[in-house]
Structure 1
Amino acid sequence: MSNAESNAPRRALTLRDVSEASGVSEMTVSRVLRNRGDVSAGTRARVLEAARRLGYVPNKIAGALASQRVNLVAVVVPSLSNLVFPEVLGGISEELENSGLQPVFGVTDYSQEREEAVLYEMLSWRPTGVIVAGLEHSPAARAMLQNAGIPIVEIMDVDGEPIDSVVGISHRRAGLEMARAIVRAGYRRIGFLGTKMPHDHRARKRMEGFEAGLAEAGLALADREYYSGGSALLKGREMTQAILSRRPDLDFLYYSNDMIGAGGLLYCLEKGIEVPEKLGLAGFNGVDLLDGLPRRLATMDACRREIGKRAARIVAGRSESGVVGGERVELTPVLQPGDTIRKAPPLNPA
């Protein structure tokens, strides 16, 4: 796509677009989308397929509203039980205060089908902008976002091709840097523990970067433990017990997030495992929960509140760069070694 095309003004799709794509009248399209009138099954299927392929979303706001927009910002995240996302939402709410814009939240539970439904409902109310977690969407969801005619900001991840603007970190880079830190500290038999795999694309990318970092040192993951449910202390304990029962020789465990990492740390302390001398541990996100642990779990700050604030600035037209659409903001997470990684030996002078 050329720069001219990517910077062209966005136009929301209309009934006419669906009419032309399906080969029926606008009146028939309206009847199908409102589920009214006597329309044949074949025509109905043709109209619905065209609308889905184009990403058309009906307009639910009153036709008399001059702007055809409401002062809402649609914010779509995968979870509210994960401690990461409430802080992102806090950053968005803080930045939008006194802007005249009000965030409304939708939760997808890491499901692309659920994301489609949430976006369809939110976009039908013609919000001023959309902030959505992640870069991976179904074709229908991507079409809806591409043709919404409003600012779209994808957040949390920059490892991919954004629809419009993007604010986040490189999760592959985060995993790579963690692996390098672990190798420098002398660990060699390393296991990975992750939840919501493979639907949590950011955790998957961290694991890919982590494996690449190990490969630099001629190492590979010794074992993995996955669980499809959410993040919880209890699950972290259970996963840690399972992987150490299989591979008691492991000397490091890398968790996809701090919640299961904290559960793993508590399990190790309860069992008298020497951390970090015999077994090192690290999580990801840098959540405040770590402040209350008996030892500080190694982690990496994901810049989540700042991500929320920067995304909200773009939607509100307050971006520092002055760029309108197509803005890329990549933040740099910082490794926090805590008390669960051995001190790396000093580098030999050149």
Structure 2
Amino acid sequence: MNDKTSLITLADVAKTAGVGESTVSRVLRNHGSFSDKTRTRVMAAVEALGYVPNRIAGTLASTGSPLVAIIVPSLSNIVFSDVLSGITRTLEAGQRQAVFAVTDYDAEREEALVAAVLAWRPAAVMLVGLEHSAGTRRMLGVAGCRVIELLDVDGTPMDIAVGFSHRAAGRATADAMIAGGYRRVAYVGHDIRRDTRSAKRFNAFTQRLQEAGIPLHDHDIRPSPSSISEGKQGLANVLERSPDIDAVYFSNDDMALGGYFHCLAAGIAVPERLAIIGFNALDICRHTPQPIASIRTPRIEAGQRAAELFLADAPAQTLDLGFSLVEGKTIRRE
């Protein structure tokens, strides 16, 4: 790499192209008037010099930042990759640039990342969920940018919320268990202290069972993030304590897939002996020998709609996209 590349300035591009600096700026921002011939000359100079625009300076000097900061809990979970896909494709069509960071489900880390991205003066900050630290909420409240909270509508958003109700999803899962005639129901999940949306589903699920006169028979909540291996171990633990359970709700499809693999390895008939249901309806769970029952969530759509609302400068609102039950072949209906 040429170490001098970073020293090349807008003035260098203007001199090479034989135009003024303001003309170069208009071409690079694709804003204002300039001829096709001028654009060709400027872009040829940019390519020849290897010029990289100073986005920070451009942001601070303009009234509208092109940057949208997106902060997600994880990239190992395909759920958030889907959300990012929906956001970035829509933002790019609107000539906005997405930057993202990962919290690992840590509220303090989220607060630090929010402070860091706000230094770039983004036009919007997108976060997952409605629960944040007091410091995060305070910073975003005075930041002067749009705030969009994703994948949850169970609460009061700071500005715009786009997602679905996790409490309703938990109750819908319980209703599927009840409709299937299951009465010894267990739960296997990941760390609900950090993942507040998972906690909302779990609490609503157990409450709905209680209303139907079916107390939760057993549960195993793993202290780690969700994974196939944690789901497999969690189900093994539950079956060791409570071999008579007849159905298990897993906090998400990663965990449910691990539970399904445990059943295959242990020769446990699904759903004749044990029913399994997950959450998110990941594509991989549609292709197991028996497609795993789950709740389908609108992840890509949530990203797209959030970006569309931002680009349209929509008023503060909550947009509930809903969800649907995918029955699969791992639960029965009476």
Alpha-carbon spacing, 1:180–1:241, altered in 2? closer, same or farther (3 Å): same
1:334 to 299, 324, 334: 324
2:191 to 170, 173, 196: 196
Q: Distance in 1 between matches of 2:285 and 2:86?
A: 20
1:332 CA drift (Å) = 1.2
**Bigger shift: 275-284 or 91-100?**
91-100
Q: Distance in 1 between matches of 2:277 and 2:60?
A: 52
Q: Are residues 1:280 and 2:270 paired?
A: no
1:291 CA drift (Å) = 2.8
% identity of equivalent residues: 43
Deviating 4+ runs (over 6 angstroms):
none
1:115–1:141 Cα contact (<8 Å) kept: yes
Q: Secondary structure at the match of 2:177?
A: helix
1:72 CA drift (Å) = 0.9
1:276 CA drift (Å) = 0.6
Q: Distance in 1 between matches of 2:78 and 2:225?
A: 11
Q: Distance in 2 between matches of 1:204 and 1:268?
A: 25
Deviations 1:183-228 (A, max 9, x none): 0110001111111222100100001111121122111111110112
Q: Secondary structure at the match of 2:286?
A: helix
Q: Secondary structure at the match of 1:250?
A: coil
Q: Secondary structure at the match of 1:91?
A: helix
- TM-score, structure 1 normalization: 0.77
1:325 CA drift (Å) = 2.8
Q: Secondary structure at the match of 1:215?
A: helix
Letter of the 2:311 partner, please give it.
A
Q: Distance in 1 between matches of 2:236 and 2:261?
A: 11
Deviations 1:120-144 (A, max 9, x none): 1101100111111010011000011
**Bigger shift: 68-77 or 186-195?**
68-77
Alpha-carbon spacing, 1:65–1:145, altered in 2? closer, same or farther (3 Å): closer
Q: Secondary structure at the match of 1:197?
A: coil
Q: Are residues 1:112 and 2:102 paired?
A: no
Cα RMSD (Å) of the superposition?
A: 1.6
Letter of the 2:76 partner, please give it.
S
Partner of 1:41: none
Deviations 1:49-106 (A, max 9, x none): xxxxxxxxxxx94499432553111001101111210001011112112211011111
Q: Secondary structure at the match of 2:148?
A: strand
Q: Superposed, which structure 2 residues align to 1:217-256 within 5 Å?
A: 217-256=212-251
Letter of the 1:169 partner, please give it.
F
Q: Are residues 1:212 and 2:216 paired?
A: no
Q: Are residues 1:159 and 2:154 paired?
A: yes
Letter of the 2:251 partner, please give it.
S
2:59–2:65 Cα contact (<8 Å) kept: no
1:281–1:297 Cα contact (<8 Å) kept: yes
Partner of 1:95: 90
Alpha-carbon spacing, 1:209–1:66, altered in 2? closer, same or farther (3 Å): same
Q: Distance in 2 between matches of 1:325 and 1:144?
A: 20
- For the pair shown, which has the larger CA radius of gyration, 1 or 2? 2
Deviations 1:9-33 (A, max 9, x none): xxxxxxxxxxxxxxxxxxxxxxxxx
- TM-score, structure 2 normalization: 0.81
Q: Which runs of 5+ in 1 are unaligned?
A: 1-59, 319-323, 345-350
Partner of 2:23: none
1:280–1:341 Cα contact (<8 Å) kept: yes
